[in-house]
A and B are shown apart, each in its own frame.
Chain A
Amino acid sequence: MGELSDAWSAQQRINIFGTVPDVIEMQSEGGAAGAVHGSLQAGALTTTFTASQGLLLMIPNMYKIAGELLPTVFHIAARTLATHALSIFGDHSDVMSIRQAGWAMLASNSVQEVQDLAMISHAATLRSRVPFIHFFDGFRTSHEVNKIEQLSRDEIRAMIEDDLVQACRDRAMDPDKPVLRGSAQNPDVFFQAREACNPYHNAVPQIVRETMQQFRELTGRSYDLFEYVGADDAERVIVMMGSGAGAVEEAVSRLSSAGEKVGLVKVRLYRPFETAAFVAALPESTRKVAVLDRTKEPGAVGEPLYQDVVAALAETGRLSSCPTVLGGRYGLSSKEFTPAMASRIFEELDSSDPKRHFTIGIVDDVTHLSLKWDPRFSTEEEDVTRAVFYGLGSDGTVGASKNSVKIIGENTPMYAQGYFVYDSKKAGSVTVSHVRFSPRPIQSTYLIDRANFVACHQFNFLERIDVLTTAQPGATFLLNSPYGPDEVWDKIPKEVQQQIIDKQLRLFVVDAISVAQEAGMGMRINTIMQTCFFALSGVLPRDQAIEQIKEAIRKTYGKRGQTILDRNFAAVDAALTGLFEVQVPSDITSTIKRISYSHSEGADFVQRVTSMLLDGRGDLLPVSALPVDGTFPTDTAKIEKRSIAQEIPIWDGDICIQCGLCTLVCPHAAIRSKAYPKSSVNGVPDGFESRDWKGKELPDHLLTIQVAPEDCTGCGICVDVCPAKSKEVVKHKAINMEPKLEHLDRERDNFEYFLSLPEVDRTQIRTETVKGSQLLQPLFEYSGACAGCGETPYLKLMSQLYGDRALIANATGCSSIYGGNLPTTPWSANSDGRGPTWNNSLFEDNAEFGLGLRLALDQKRDHAEFLLKSIAGTVGDDAVRAILEAPQTTETEILEQRKRVSGLKEQLAASDEEYAGKLAALADVFVNRSVWIVGGDGWAYDIGFGGLDHVLTTGRNVNILVLDTGVYSNTGGQASKATPRAAVAKFAAAGKPSRKKDLGMLAVSYGNVYVAQVAMGSNPAQTVKAFREAESYPGPSLLMAYSHCIAHGIDMTTAMTHQKTVVQTGFWPLFRYDPREANAGEQPFHLDSRKPSKPFRELAMKEARFAMLTRMDGERADLLLEQAQRDIDDQWRYYEQMAGVERAIVNDFEEAQS
Chain B
Amino acid sequence: MTSADGTNDKSMAVAEPPQGKASSKFVTVDGNEAAAFVAHQVSEVIAIYPITPAYTRLADG
Q: Hey, which bits of chain A sit against chain B, CB under 8 A?
A: 1-9, 13, 15-17, 19, 21-29, 31-33, 35-36, 39, 44-54, 73, 75-77, 79, 88-90, 108, 111-112, 114-115, 118-119, 122, 134, 136-139, 141-153, 156, 160, 219-221, 383, 385, 392-399, 405-406, 409-410, 412-416, 418, 437-441, 452-453, 476, 506, 508, 535-542, 544, 576, 579-581, 938, 943, 968, 971-972, 974, 986-987
**Knowing A399-B60, A536-B1, A542-B6 touch, does A111 contact B55 (C-beta < 8 A)?**
no
Structural contact, B28 and A147, CB atoms closer than 8 A = yes
Residues of B within 8 A of A (CB): 1-4, 6, 8-15, 17-21, 23-58, 60-61
A220 to chain B, nearest CB (A): 6
| Cβ contact within 8 Å between B18 and A54 | no
**Complex: A1 Cα to B2 Cα, angstroms:** 40
Q: With A118-B34, A150-B26 as given contacts, are A15 and B43 in contact (CB-CB < 8 Å)?
A: yes
Residues of chain B within 8 A of A39, CB atoms compared: 44-45, 47
Alpha-carbon gap, A138 to B53, bound state (A): 6
Contact indicator B44/A7 (Cβ below 8 Å): no
Contacts of A53 in B (CB 8 A): 51
| CB proximity of A456 to chain B, nearest CB, Å | 16
Contacts of A539 in B (CB 8 A): 11-12
- Is A971 a contact partner of B2 (Cβ separation < 8 A)? no
Q: Are A142 and B30 in contact, CB atoms less than 8 angstroms apart?
A: yes
Q: Considering the chains assembled together, what is the distance between the CA atoms of A395 and B56 in angstroms?
A: 19
Residues from chain A with Cβ under 8 Å of B30 in the complex: 111, 142-146
Output the residue of B51, B56, B58, B60 with the most chain A CB within 10 A: B51
A325 CA / B32 CA spacing, docked (Å): 34
Whether B46 and A24, one on each chain, are in contact in the complex, defined by CB atoms closer than 8 angstroms, is yes
Contact A538 B11 (CB under 8 A): yes
User: With contacts A150-B37, A538-B1 known, is A111 near B48, CB below 8 A?
Assistant: no
Give which listed residue, B10, B14, B20, contacts A439 with CB less than 8 A: B14
Instruction: State the CA gap A218–B17 with chains docked (Å).
Output: 19
Q: Which of A36, A50, A392 meets B54, CB within 8 Å?
A: A50
Min Cβ gap B22→A in Å is 11
B37 to chain A, nearest CB (A): 6
Q: What separation, in Å, do the CA atoms of A27 and B60 have in the docked complex?
A: 26
A-B contacts besides A8-B36, A506-B1, 18 pairs, CB < 8 Å: A1-B39, A5-B46, A24-B48, A26-B48, A39-B44, A46-B44, A49-B55, A77-B31, A79-B53, A88-B52, A108-B31, A114-B31, A138-B54, A221-B20, A398-B60, A537-B1, A537-B2, A581-B4
- How far is B60's CA from A398's CA once the two chains are assembled, in angstroms? 7
Q: A5-B39, A47-B39, A399-B60 are in contact. Are A21 and B26 (CB under 8 A)?
A: no
- Complex CA gap A938/B49 in Å reads 10
Residue on A with the closest CB to B37?
A: A115
Check B4–A5 contact: CB distance below 8 A: no
B20 to chain A, nearest CB (A): 5
Chain B contacts for A9, CB-based, 8 A: 40, 46
Nearest CB on A from B47, distance (A):
4
The reply to whether A141 and B31 form a contact with Cβ atoms under 8 Å apart is yes
CB contact between A15 and one of B9, B32, B44 (< 8 Å): that residue? B44
Nearest CB of A to B54, in Å:
4
- Whether A32 and B49, one on each chain, are in contact in the complex, defined by CB atoms closer than 8 angstroms, is yes
Q: Do the beta carbons of B50 and A152 come within 8 Å of each other?
A: no
Q: Which of A52, A149, A412, A452 has the most CB of B within 10 A?
A: A149
Partner of A971, one of B25, B34, B55: B55
CB pair A51 B53 closer than 8 Å: yes
Q: How far is the CA of A973 from the CA of B49 in the complex (A)?
A: 12
Highest count of chain A CB atoms <10 Å: which of B24, B37, B38, B41: B38
Are A143 and B54 in contact, with the CB atoms below 8 A?
no
Q: Is the CB of B19 within 8 A of A220?
A: yes
Cα A219 to Cα B40 with chains together (Å): 20
Q: Which residues on A sit within 8 Å (CB–CB) of B26?
A: 147-150, 409-410
Residues of A within 8 A of B28 (CB): 145-148, 405-406, 409-410, 416, 418
Given contacts A4-B32, A115-B35, contact A35 B1 (CB under 8 A): no
Taking CB atoms, residues of chain B closer than 8 Å to A542 are 2, 6, 9
Asked, given contacts A118-B39, A146-B28, whether A88 binds B53 with beta carbons under 8 Å apart, the answer is: yes
Task: Tell whether, in the assembled complex, residue B1 and residue A49 are in contact, meaning their CB atoms are under 8 Å apart.
Answer: no
In contact, A413 and B42 (Cβ under 8 angstroms): no
Q: How far is the CA of A144 from the CA of B9 in the complex (A)?
A: 29
The CA of A463 and the CA of B40, in the complex, are separated in Å by 46
B36 engages A4 (CB within 8 Å)? yes
CB-defined contacts of B38 to chain A, threshold 8 Å: 115, 118-119, 122, 151, 156
Residue contacts A-B, CB under 8 angstroms, 29 given = A1-B54, A5-B39, A29-B49, A36-B45, A44-B45, A49-B32, A49-B35, A49-B36, A49-B55, A52-B51, A75-B35, A75-B54, A111-B31, A115-B35, A118-B35, A136-B31, A136-B35, A144-B30, A150-B26, A160-B42, A219-B20, A219-B21, A394-B61, A395-B61, A452-B1, A538-B2, A538-B10, A542-B6, A986-B58
What is the bound-complex CA distance between A616 and B26, given in angstroms?
37
Complex alpha-carbon distance, A589 and B42, angstroms: 63
In the bound assembly, the distance between CA atoms of A126 and B39 in angstroms comes to 13
Name which of B1, B26, B34, B37 has the most chain A CB atoms within 10 A of its CB.
Answer: B34
How many angstroms from the CA of A75 to the CA of B31 in the assembled complex? 11
* Interchain CB contact under 8 A, A383 and B4: no
Contact (Cβ within 8 A) A150 B44: no
How far is B32's CA from A138's CA once the two chains are assembled, in angstroms?
9
Give A149 to B26 CA distance when docked, in angstroms. Answer: 4
Give 9 closest A-B pairs by Cβ, nearest first. Answer: A409-B28, A2-B48, A115-B34, A538-B2, A35-B47, A118-B38, A141-B31, A138-B53, A1-B36
Asked if B31 and A49 sit within 8 Å, CB to CB, the answer is: no
A52 to B24, CA, bound (A): 35
Contact A538 B53 (CB under 8 A): no
A26–B45 Cα gap in the complex (Å)? 12
Closest-CB distance, B39 to chain A (whole angstroms): 5
B40 touches A150 (CB 8 A): no
A6 touches B48 (CB 8 A): yes
Give complex CA distance A410, B24 in Å. 12
Quick one: which of A47, A77, A409, A438 contacts B46, CB cutoff 8 A? A47
Q: Tell whether A51 pairs with B47 under 8 Å between CB atoms, given A118-B39, A413-B18, A537-B2.
A: no
Q: Name the residue on A nearest B3 (C-beta).
A: A581
Contacts of B57 in A (CB 8 A): 972
Take A1-B39, A75-B39 as given contacts and tell me if A54 and B49 are in contact as well, using a CB distance cutoff of 8 Å. yes
Docked CA distance A141–B30 (Å): 7
Interchain nearest-CB distance for B45 vs A (Å): 4
Asked whether A153 lies within 8 Å of B41 as measured between CB atoms, the reply is yes
B39 & A46 in contact (Cβ 8 Å cutoff) = no
Residues in B with CB closer than 8 Å to A396 are: 61
**Contact A139:B45 (CB < 8 A) given known A1-B36, A150-B37, A508-B4:** no
Q: Is the CB of A45 within 8 A of B42?
A: yes
Question: How far is B30's CA from A576's CA once the two chains are assembled, in angstroms?
Answer: 31
Q: In the bound complex, how far is the Cα of B21 from the Cα of A147, in angstroms?
A: 16
In the complex the two chains form, what is the Cα distance from A149 to B38 in whole Å? 13
CA distance A44 to B44 in the complex (A): 6
Bound together, the chains give a CA A775 to CA B6 distance in angstroms of: 61
Determine whether the beta carbon of A536 is less than 8 Å from that of B4: yes
- Complex-state Cα separation, A399 to B37, whole angstroms: 21
Interface pair B49/A536, CB less than 8 Å apart: no
Enumerate chain B residues within 8 angstroms of A580, measured Cβ to Cβ. 4
A241 to chain B, nearest CB (A): 15
A15 touches B42 (CB 8 A): yes
Q: Shortest distance in angstroms between B52's beta carbon and chain A's nearest beta carbon?
A: 5
List chain B residues, Cβ under 8 A from A544.
Answer: 11
Contact of B51 among A150, A410, A971 (CB under 8 A): A971
Centre residue among B3, B24, B54, B60 by max chain A CB count within 10 A:
B54
B48 in contact with A7 (CB, 8 Å)? no
Which of chain B's residues have a CB closer than 8 A to the CB of A136?
31, 35
Given A144-B31, A393-B61, A439-B14, A3–B56 Cβ distance below 8 Å? yes
Given known contacts A47-B39, A581-B3, A581-B4, A4 and B33 CB-to-CB distance under 8 angstroms: yes
Which residue on B lies nearest to A474, using beta carbons?
B1
